[in-house]
Structures are given as C-alpha cells and as structure tokens.
Structure 1
Amino acid sequence: MDKRLIAERFAKARGTYNREARVQQQVAEKMMRLVLQHSGTHPDRFRRIVEFGCGTGSYSSILLHTLKPETLLLNDLCPEMEECVENLPSAGGSPQAGPSAGGTVVRFRAGDAEELDFPTGTDLLTSCSTLQWFTDPAAFFARSRRFLKPDGILAFTTFGPSNMHEIRSLTGHGLDYLPLDEIQRLVALHFDVRYAAEEVVSLPFADPTAVLRHLKLTGVTGTEKRTWTRRRLQAFSEDYTRRFARPDGKVTLTYHPIYIIAQNKSL
C-alpha cells in the first residue's frame, strides 16, 4: 500500500470530499447513533476522545457537538487536513488554540495512525471510513488497547469485500477488504465486542464516467496508478454499462460499510 499516494490523493480531494462523500457522511451519522446505543455507558463519560483518520472533519464535528468532550485529538495521514478542521470548534479559534466556547480542547496531529502513539487514558478511540487503508489492522488493534482506559471504547467503521466491487472487477485494482467475521475475530483478541454489523448501499450514477469523477472527488483512488487513456476509458465505460446498468439506464456503485463497537478488556 502506497500511503504517500493515498495521502496525496485525499489531500487533492479535500475541497470536494464533503460534497461527494454521501455514503461516508451517512455512515458517520449512523456510527454516532450506534456509539450512544451500544457503548454501555453514558455519553458524558467520553471526556477524552481520539479520532484517527479524521479527514475533512465530518465525523469530527459530530463527535464534538454530540459528546462535547473535554479533549478531542484529531489525527490524519494528510497534514493538509488541518486546514479542514481548524474552525471545527464552535468558537475560540483553531485546533491549536485551545478550548472552544463549549469547553472542548481540539487539537490536530498529522501522521500514520498505525505508527503514532496516542494519549493513554483515552475514553473513546474512534474512526469512520479509515481502517480499510491500514496495512496491518491486527497490529493496530493490539496497540490501540494500551491507549484506552480499562473500560474504554474502540468504535470504528470500515468497508467490507463488496465495497466498490464494480471497480475491482473491471480494473483489477482495489483494497483487500476484510470480511466482518474476520474483523470481529481480530478485535475480539483484545476487546469485548459489543456490536458488529454490516450493510450494503448502492449508489446510482448517470454513467461510468460519473462514477470515476465521484471517486476522484472523494480521493478514494489511492491504489490506482495507471493512466486513463481515451481507449481505456471507452472500454471501461462499455464494460461497466454492460455489467452494472440498471433498468433505468443508470449504473451502480456499491458501498459495504462495517460497524464495530468494542470495549477494552479488563487489564
């Protein structure tokens, strides 16, 4: 996995991501509902929160305004994402400036979440639509336990094997998505899994070119290095339409969100 390329493409898409990433926004909103329902604790208990892979801050905003923590540490692989979250507090300045009017200290830290050490004593370690980019999720689960309080919560969403299967089947490129049962097994080695579920969402697009534009504007093209020549684009469009067209003439793109909420095992 070329994380340099991944970071570069997400950085380029930071101005269009929020507009295009409709499924990711819905996933973030659902994730918060699930955290409130299945974390086994009152939301006021989440005083210290770390979000890895914060991106442009869609989920960050939900965390801030729903849970109102004392501290919210935002992390992303792309240093450029700091400019997207610098005005996240309702008042009081940038993430480096300290408390907002609501009392939350919001900070940003760039870097690879698979390598960084996050603060110990964290109440909630969470992320939306990020873990699929990790090289070694199993090692991250093992490491993340030490950042959390003994009863701390790990809550994240990722994507499963059906995610964007249309693109993989036509180009041969895509991420190696883990299925729900494998993710659940890896998490359960270190945490008590309180909730695990998946869903499939199909988005309609006018044509295959619109699908590619959508992917570019959300930045999720980090594994594709080949150039799109006119001949390749024409062949791709014809195959995509033949295999994935709906009766109304539109084509589909599949998303496969997975939701996990787990509690740190007693030390």
Structure 2
Amino acid sequence: MKTTDTSQSLRLDKQLIAQSFRASAATYEENATVQRQISRQLVTCVQNLKSLHSARILEIGCCTGILTELLVGQLTINTLYLNDIVEEFCTTTRERVASRVVHVESLPGDIEKCVLPEGLDMIISSATFQWMADLPALLARMHQALRADGYLVFSIFGPGTMGEIRELTGRGLSYHTKEDLSRMLREQFRIISLTSETRQVFFPTVKEVLRHIRQTGVGGLDRTQWLPGKFKEFSRQYRSRFATDSGFPVSYASTFVVAEKI
C-alpha cells in the first residue's frame, strides 16, 4: 500500500462520475449524512442574504434534491433551474419541489458545457465544484450569468476529504484550498464569508467504509478492484492507522463560500 508521499490525483472523467452517482441513486439519501449537514449549513447562509424573495436561482449538482427541498422551504422562488450531470436527478428533484416553486426548469448535463440562464439572483451548489475540470472558467461564466449584486453560494470538498483512503491507496481528487478559492473569486466577487471545517463519519467495519463510499457516489473516479487479498491488506492497515473507539472514520473537509458579484 502506498502513502500520500507518492499519491496521485485522479483524472476527472465526467462519464464515470455520472455513472457512479446514477448507481447510488437508490441509496444516496440514506447514506449522505455529511452532505445533508452541509446543505443545512448552506441554507443558513442564504437566510442572511438580502433581496432573495421571488428570486431566479440556479442550483448546480442538485442530485436527489436534499438542498433543493431545504431551499424552497426557506425562500419564495419564482424560477428555479436545476442542474445535474445525471439527467434523472433533475427530473426527480423537479417533481419533488414543483408544488412550492412557481416555475422549475431542468438544466441537465455537465455544467461546464451547459448554457447558463441569465439574470440570476443566486447560484447555489453543495459539494459539487470539486468535480469541475476548470473551476476558474466556470466561476467567470457564473459571474456573467448573475445579475448585478447577485450571489454565489457554495460548498466544496477540500484537502483532507477521504484522507484515510488516500493515505492507504495513494489515490484521490486534487482539491482546492481556501487560498485557491480566494484567488479565483476576488477579482469578480466580493467575498462575504469563506470558512472551512472537517467532519467525520464513523462506521463499524472497514467494509462499511467502502460501502458508504459506493452508496453515496463520492468515489466516482476510483476504479479500484477490491480483490480479496487487496481488501484484506487495506482493511488491516485501516484498522491499524485509523481505528477509534467510535469506529472507522471517513473525513470530509468542506469549504463554505458566500460571495456577491461585483
């Protein structure tokens, strides 16, 4: 087993990402406890913003609609655009909230290739932007899509996310730091807040750790084949390095950004 000294950043394969999340559709909500907590925190951020009633909002990476449902429960939204790389998620999420929004429109596909709506009051996204191949380019396009003084609100997983797995396998995403994000944003946005925190989820066995990753789709780029011998050694090292009285941890490091267009 390799360690982070020789770790590799996984190459972004959007088709593989979509396949992974599509495969987790039936199990995502039950297992995405961290993602639900992050969504609640984002909605708390939104509640403090001005001029967001009867708003035009784009959500990027709506998935099964956890954030969407929380958002429509707090805001009066006139037009809501729902994006996800998995088209079925846009459809099911639209149906989930349609009765509480005047107009809901699906915008399926890779957001880096989609034509964005114009004159948006807010763009919001939870735990999605780590999957972007060129985040600065997307930020520039989102800046253009927002109205004057429009808001960009998002969370993004950062360095340390699933660090236990990366330490043992030497493989993981290349995550943006807070400093990276600040540099990307500051020429086009006024940063209202930029904070980071780490959460851990604990599981009773190492096998449950891998099941969690599979059932939430977050391991969407890792093609590792867990043959019995390989899993046995991985499990041994996980127990040796990371076991706690609470179980076996999986870490999620999140950065939360609230910014206003300038």
Smaller-chain TM-score bracket: over 0.9
Residue 64 of structure 2 corresponds to residue 66 of structure 1: no
Which runs of no fewer than 5 residues in structure 1 stay unpaired? 92-101
Other-structure match for 1:165: 163
2:193 pairs with 1:203: no
Matches of 1:51 and 1:103 in 2, distance apart? 13
**Residue 84 of structure 1, CA deviation:** 2.7
**Does the alignment pair 1:30 with 2:46?**
no
Offset at residue 90 of structure 1 (A): 5.6
Divergent runs of 4+, >2 A: none
Indicate the residue corresponding to 1:78 in structure 2. Answer: 86
- The amino acid that maps onto 1:88 is R
Tell me the residue number matched to 1:244: 242
Cα RMSD for the two superposed structures: 1.3
Inter-CA distance 67–210: structure 2 relative to 1 (3 Å threshold): same
Instruction: Tell me the distance in 1 between the aligned counterparts of 2:166 and 2:220.
Output: 13
In 1, Cα distance between the equivalents of 2:155 and 2:134?
A: 16
**2:258 corresponds to:** 261
Task: Describe how 1:101-140 pairs up with structure 2 within 5 A.
Answer: 102-140=100-138
Letter in 2 for 1:164: M
CA drift of 1:249 comes to: 6.4
- Equivalent position to 2:56, from 43, 48, 62: 48
Percent identical among aligned pairs is: 33
Comparing 236-245 with 62-71, which one deviates more in the overlay? 62-71
- Gapped regions of structure 2 (runs ≥ 5): 1-11
Taking structure 2 as the reference length, the TM-score comes to 0.92
Which secondary structure state, in structure 2, belongs to the residue aligned with residue 54 of structure 1? coil
Alignment deviations for residues 236-256 of structure 1 (CA, whole Å, 9 cap, x no partner)? 10011101011x261111111
What CA distance in whole angstroms lies between the structure 2 residues aligned with 1:143 and 1:166? 34
C-alpha contact 2:28 2:216 (8 A) present in aligned 1: yes
> What is the Cα deviation at residue 81 of structure 1?
1.1
Q: Match for 1:79: what amino acid?
A: E
Answer whether contact 2:82 2:94 (CA < 8 A) is retained: no
* TM-score, structure 1 as length reference: 0.91
Aligned AA (1:8): Q
